[in-house]
Structure 1
Amino acid sequence: MADPTLEEVAAELYALPLDAFTRERNARAKSVAAAALGDGIRSLRKPSLAAWVVDLLAREARTDLEQALELGAALREAQEELDAQTLSELTKQRRALVAGLARRAASLADERGVAVSPAALTDVDKTLNAAMRDAAAAAAVLTGRLVRPLDIAGFDGADLDGAVAGDLPETAPEPPRDDLAQRRARKAAERAAREAAQNAGAADRELRAAEAALERARDHADRLRERIDGLRAELSRIEEDAERADAAVIEADRTRDAAARRAAQARRQADVAAAAAEEAG
């Protein structure tokens, strides 16, 4: 059987849990017949946590990721024809979409027992944003072989040097902006902007409802706390009354014992007096 390509081996290794990568990489390097391939496998770097999370997203939620990257391509085609307001709305939508994908990636990692730190989640967000804005970065993300996170600043493309294990996939040049493509992209972008505005309106309504529910809950909690304070005060008064009553019981018991002793003594004296009177008669 022919040896696999370096890219095929890398895709398999980058799908493993991070703590198993080095051990399995070294084992695979020893198992292949071709020395050059073995050297190539041995040189594969362990991915960073953020890169591993993005690779996981590329495998487990590929359809959602591809759809998001297609929207990114449409926005790149249409941006020269769009007005500032529409571009602003689409930028917000892109950010929301990227944030949603980053949360999805973190959730997939959590299902596998891997906690994604805030710093790593920020790198995941930057990587997905770069993929939305740059075709070469998008192709790199879809390989599932990222070694490190990506970033993009200004109008420059993402730096992909050493970012992917194995060869980078070839990317087709951006298509020419003919009128039909521009119209289609503009319609798609305008539709996306309308949907984003609708989503924002729904989110605002949900926020207002949540704030009203929070205010009601706070009022209810305040009333209950006031009632608890009143009951505690009443309980304190009752406990003081009970202590006084207990003291009165003790005092009454002592008084009764003294009276019983006096009564017994008086009966004895009466018996003695009666006996003396009988003898005298």
Structure 2
Amino acid sequence: MGEVPEETVRELYTALPEEFTSARDAAAAAVKAAGHGAQATAIKRLRRPTVAAWLVNLLAHRAPERIAELTALAAELRDAQRQLRGADLRALTVRRRELLSALAEQAAGLAVRAQPALSPAKLPLAEVEQTLAAALADDEIAAQVRAGTVVKAVSYTGFGAASAFGGADTEDEGDDADVVVLPRRPARTARARTAPAHDGAAASAGGRAGRRAAAQGDRSADDARPVREARAPEPPRVPVGLRRELESAREAEQRARGEVDRARAAETAGADELAEIRDALAALEERRSRAQQEANRRRAARTAAERALAAAVRRTAKAQAAIDAVTA
């Protein structure tokens, strides 16, 4: 954070988001009054975090050892991906999912401890997980998370390690797969039953009959397998109507999730815009205050100059009167 002391950063980014601007301005004013103008300017440049970013920052400042776990897991994931260790990747992906969920829950607990009136159900924990997942894949985001200076929720849309995370998660989608009923192989039982009768009629053919009987025996052994397979129980068939209903429900769920994501993004954008406007208003108010002070100073200087002019005029008049008296 440049010239901003770590203690100031910690106090500001763990304060409630709605208190950030006033706390930041007060800190800047105190530093400026102490004669540290450049440091005050650096503090004024700090941006107000969104609620999701605040939750991540709480974790970084209140539980840095958990963020260290995230950093260690990121290194293990990258190493497993580079060496193409599929089994390790799957195990690490499970750990990743569990850790992200646990960190989000811990952030909610820290938030409620800071503000008991908060409802964990209304906190943007999905955005917290999204930001922490991005930190696993992007070093720059990870640095912001470790420093506890995140200002808005982020997501990683690049390639490399992040794409491996997404790919490994698909391992658990097997429960949602459609049931596919394979067609049974046609049984040749009729041929197996009728063939011995034809072979018996040709038994007098001597050697030829013997060879035919041997061949028939082989075919009978082969045909016994499909007969047994035909008797195996069929897997249950899913009615077409139910399958279509499932597909329709999944599509509706996806649309609803998309609407929720868009609504959350719009809410976050609105909060960011409001925060920027508040910051701009605070900066304008500071400029107005400085301009007012300068105007007052110049008004006082103008008044003093007018008084000096009046005194000089009186002195000139007095001197002129004295000269006139002498020369009269």
Q: Normalization by structure 1: what TM-score?
A: 0.50
Q: Relative contact order: is structure 1 or structure 2 higher (C-alpha 8 Å, sep ≥ 6)?
A: 1
Q: Normalization by structure 2: what TM-score?
A: 0.43
